[in-house]
Amino acid sequence: MWYNEGLQIGGLPQMEVKGMEQRNNVALSSLSGVGPVRSGKLAKLGLERLSDVLWHFPLRYEDRRKVYTVREAPEGQMCCVKAMVAQLPQLSRVRSGIELVKVRCVDDTGVLNLTFFHQSYLRHTFSPGDQYVFYGKVERQGRGISMVNPLFEKEGEEKYTGRIVPVYPLTAGVHNALLMNLAQLAVEQLAPTVEEVLPLWVREEYHLCQQEFALQNIHFPQSFEGLEWARRRLIFEELLTLTCGLAMLKGRRQHFDGLRLAPHSPEEFQSLLPFIPTDAQRRAMEDIFHDVTSGQSMNRLVQGDVGSGKTAVAAYGAWVTALSGMQCALMAPTELLAEQHYRTLSTLLGPSGIRVELLTGSVKGAGRKKLLQALASGDVQVLVGTHALFSQGVEYHRLGLVIADEQHRFGVAQRGALAAKGGEIPPHVLVMSATPIPRTLALMIYGDMEVSIIDQLPPGRTPVSTYVVGEDKRQRMYGFVRTQVGQGRQVYLVCPAVEENGGEDEEGQTSLFPAMDLKAVTTYAKHLQEQVFPDLKVGFVHGKMKSKDKEAIMSAFAAGEIQVLVSTTVIEVGVDVPNATLMIVENADRFGLSQLHQLRGRVGRGKHESYCVLVTASRSETARQRLRVLTQTTDGFQIAQEDLRLRGPGDFFGQRQHGLPQLKVADFASDLEVLNQARQAAQALVDGDPDLTQAQHLPLRRRVEHMFRDNPDIFH
Ligand code: ADP
Ligand code: MG
């Protein structure tokens, strides 16, 4: 939709600009072209002051540099045409009261007929003989051309034509033209005053343009090359700010006093385990042992593929904390997983006299009260639960360690908030994750943490045999389900997420797929139960169910009461049902490889041989090729790398929260190279000047402070 209204906003007032502070503080509402209504709408975009506009970058650009003659104007495309008004505009009314203004224009090569709807006042705007540049969609009309509701500018006053035009993120009532006007003002007034945050050596070493040039060209690029320079510099700057902040967080923690726990080693713990830990598990435990006895605060990520045995490592952490007379809180993302951990930890630690309890939203009334009392008095040493663990009214006696399991949403900010639940000295923090993200990204997302990687599966696991099959194999596949169930095993059958209109899926990830049938899971389960497996017990579960119902189904499956479980990806994370040996994924081409790998990790957890069947109706060779990666490797990191390569930028993380400050220009996946450079530079900067207090680093420090403003403790 096209507004020529933009042109009537008129120029903004010339402002008196005195000191820099005053410039930065110009409120948009104080500009005469804006007014209270518009400024309210601008505020919705986070724009309250002129400096906000300077940092509100275009989403994309339109190349309107070429101005065509009538004859050359390309049909069906948006473009600029210069022509002279040839006659007085004609106003007419057509049926249903629609008013339209017709303007006939000409140039040396032909006729341009314009039609404007609902803008009868325009009949007074155009006078014969005036030259204009019109921007609109060109339709051929006999020997001439026509445009409907084009944007127009008088020759010599072009602002929106004859150049590369920025297109800004908009909201109702805020037109692009308004933002362009404001941006122009912001660039003129403020860009020259913005502090250069990049030290000279950084700009030289990484070939980065100057701040002022970058700000000018990101809004009003002279050329696409200039835009590229600007973008690269701003991305670098943003990633440098982020990585400096993370490096500072990490550095600070190393200076922190941490709770020093009694030195009970992993060897001592080993006798409690029903198995011999793998070397990788042992290494992770050694890392933890070192951290918690070092006198510094631990902030460690344990990353290990599904099934690599992270629970035992977490259990060691809980154990060593309890032996020092302190408490451990283990947080899981769902009640089901919390219950699972509760059972495991009670079995492991109970015999040593450690009291393990479970706290979820379902624990209510007197039971809850008693539990909270026991927690506050220190009688409970290990508390397992959901995020309820950190809700109001939950008081710990001496919280020594917080463990977060499989928790994507446990970001920097939450980690900071935890400190508040501890005493004087913040608790140690351990995060367990199976999300196999490439190492650079892991370092980024968990940039303030130390990382232990469990790159080994417990012995005796046979890799899950994986197959990619087409629709023609469906009956055989159902036959295979029967065989497995006949042998006493259980089956997962996963469909793409239940969703409406391609909205968000269950993880809040914007869907990449076209709208799916909302009833996919329920109707499919019904079909299977009635038509295909009338003699088997089929259950279903999806993310839109009440969590109580969901948990009931999952428990029934865990108890073996359901043989075939139809589900969405709600079972993706952490569920441990060793008797399940077959995973079937419908429409597998609609999932990312990493996600499929995670799903596959739900089987192959017991002693029975396990299988994963990826069903696809896609005939595209690339789609099948992609899926075949899973038949060739079980290495989660390799799969993640491949996923990133094949799916390209953006999709890898989707909207999934990672808890880092919001980025404006950079994108983790697509700007990997710049990310590596920025990390390198940040490390060098922070190594030489840990608090960035040297004069030439102060602007950067201020920028870091601004980005991490929700993490105020970063600098204390
Ligand atoms: P994840 O890393 O996915 O959380 P779990 O901790 O749930 O993995 O472990 C998966 C399964 O492997 C569990 O049943 C666990 O008892 C078993 N397991 C873990 N470590 C070992 C080991 N060293 N030897 C044998 N079995 C193990
Ligand atoms: Mg786990």
pTM: 0.63
- Cα-to-centroid distance, 149 and ligand 2 (Å): 59
> In whole angstroms, what is the distance from residue 132 CA to residue 114 CA?
12
Q: What is the pLDDT of residue 412?
A: 53
Q: What is the mean pLDDT of residues 368-396?
A: 91
Q: Is there an atom of ligand 1 within 6 Å of 308 CB?
A: yes
The pLDDT, as a whole number, for residue 655 is 34
- Per-residue confidence (pLDDT) for residue 73, from 0 to 100: 93
550 CB under 6 A from ligand 1?
no
State the pLDDT at residue 418. Answer: 61
Nearest CA to ligand 1 atom 24: 458
**Which of 428, 425, 452 is CA-nearest to residue 293?**
428
Band of residue 645 on the pLDDT scale cut at 50, 70, 90: low
Of all ligands present, the nearest one to the C-alpha of 307 is 1
**DSSP of 305-329, one letter per residue?**
-TTS-HHHHHHHHHHHHHHTT-EEE
Burial of residue 609 (CB within 10 Å: 0-12, 13-18, 19+) is middle
The confidence band for 455, taking pLDDT boundaries of 50, 70 and 90, is confident
d(CA 102, CA 126): 10
Q: Is 50 exceeded by the pLDDT of residue 18? A: no
Question: pLDDT confidence of 662, banded at 50, 70, 90?
Answer: low
Query: Where do the domains of the chain lie, and which CATH numbers do they carry?
Result: 66-162 (2.40.50.140), 266-454 (3.40.50.300), 464-633 (3.40.50.300)
**Contact 577/605 with Cβ under 8 angstroms?**
yes
Indicate whether 659 pLDDT > 80. Answer: no
| Higher per-residue confidence, 629 vs 442 | 629
Mean pLDDT of 343-372: 93
Residue 576 CB–ligand 1 contact under 6 Å: yes
Ligand 2 geometric centre to CA of 525 (Å): 28
Exposure string for 330-339, b = 16+ CB within 10 A, e = fewer: bbbbbbbbbb
Identify which of 576, 599, 602 to mutate to test ligand 1's pocket (most ligand atoms within 8 A of the CB). Answer: 576
pLDDT at 443 over 90: no
Of 228, 236, 229, 230, which Cα lies nearest the Cα of 197? 236
Please give the residue that has the higher pLDDT: either 336 or 197.
Answer: 197
Query: CB of 303 closer than 6 A to ligand 1?
Result: no
**Measured from the CA of 306, which atom of ligand 1 is nearest?**
3
* pLDDT category of residue 545 using cuts at 50, 70 and 90: confident
- The answer to whether the CB of 194 falls within 8 A of the CB of 54 is yes
Ligand 1 touching residue 285 (CB < 6 A):
no
Predicted pLDDT of residue 657: 39
Q: What is the pLDDT of residue 541?
A: 87
DSSP conformation class of 13: P
For residue 310, give the ligand nearest its CA.
1
Instruction: Give the mean pLDDT of 136-144.
Output: 89
Question: Which of 63-77, 383-397, 490-504, 572-586 has the weakest average pLDDT?
Answer: 490-504
User: Is pLDDT at 148 greater than 70 in this prediction?
Assistant: yes
Nearest CA owner, ligand 1 atom 20: 309
Which atom of ligand 1 lies closest to the CA of 406? 4
According to the model, what pLDDT value does residue 546 have? Answer: 80
Atom of ligand 1 nearest to the CA of 314: 6
CA 493 – CA 612 distance, rounded (Å):
10
Nearest CA to 243 among 645, 685, 553, 673? 685
| Top-confidence residue, 56 or 2 | 56
CA of 573 to the centre of ligand 2 (A): 8
Say if strands 299-304 and 164-167 run parallel, antiparallel, or are unpaired.
Answer: unpaired
Look at residue 407 in the predicted model and tell me its pLDDT.
63
Q: Which residue has the tokens 């600070």?
A: 252
Ligand 2 mean position to 73 CA, how many Å? 62
- Determine the distance separating the centroid of ligand 2 and the alpha carbon of 405, expressed in angstroms: 7
Residue 441 has pLDDT above 70, yes or no: no
Q: What DSSP letter does each residue of 340-385 carry, written as one string?
A: HHHHHHHHHHGGGT--EEEE-TT--HHHHHHHHHHHHHT---EEEE
User: Count of CB atoms within 10 A of residue 502's CB?
Assistant: 13
pLDDT confidence band for 649 (50 / 70 / 90): very low
**Which band of pLDDT confidence, cut at 50, 70 and 90, is reported for residue 3?**
very low
Residue 112 zone, left/alpha/beta (φ > 0; ψ -120 to 50; rest)? beta
Nearest to 355 by CA among 388, 331, 389, 319: 319
Dihedral sign computed on CA atoms, order 138, 144, 148, 150:
positive
Q: Is the pLDDT of residue 411 over 70?
A: no
Please give the pLDDT value at position 336. 78
363 CA distance to ligand 1 middle (Å):
28
Contact criterion met (CB below 8 Å) for 432 and 314? yes
CB atoms within 10 A of CB 688: 10
Work out the average pLDDT over 40-62. Answer: 90
Q: Does position 367 have pLDDT exceeding 60, yes or no? A: yes
The pLDDT assigned to 372 comes to 95
Tens digits of residue pLDDT in 250-292: 776 666 678 999 999 999 999 999 999 999 999 999 999 999 9
For residue range 481-518, list pLDDT tens digits in order: 999 999 999 999 998 765 443 333 333 333 333 334 43
How confident is the model at residue 380, as a pLDDT?
97
Instruction: Select from 138, 89, 78, 76 the least CA-distant residue to 112.
Output: 138
With cut-offs at 50, 70 and 90, classify the pLDDT of residue 143. Answer: confident
Task: Please state, in angstroms and rounded to a whole number, the distance separating the CA atoms of residues 485 and 495.
Answer: 20
State the closest ligand 1 atom to the C-alpha of 578, by its place in the atom list counted from 1: 14
pLDDT of residue 663: 73
Q: Is the dihedral of CA 357, 363, 364, 365 positive or negative?
A: negative
| Model pLDDT, residue 317 | 98
Lowest mean pLDDT among 387-396, 455-464, 535-544, 645-654: 645-654
> What proportion of the chain, given as a percentage, has pLDDT over 70?
83
- Compute the mean pLDDT over every residue in the chain, rounded to the nearest whole number: 83
At 507 the pLDDT is: 36
**450-454 β-sheet, strand order:** 356-359, 382-385, 327-331, 399-405, 428-433, 299-304, 450-454
Query: Does residue 522 carry a pLDDT above 60?
Result: yes
Q: Judge whether residue 392 has pLDDT over 90.
A: no
- Tell me if 636 CB under 6 Å of ligand 1: no
Dihedral pair phi/psi, residue 200, rounded to 5° = -55, -45
- CB-ligand 1 contact for 458 (6 Å cutoff): yes
pLDDT over 80 (residue 51): yes
Mean pLDDT of 400-417: 69
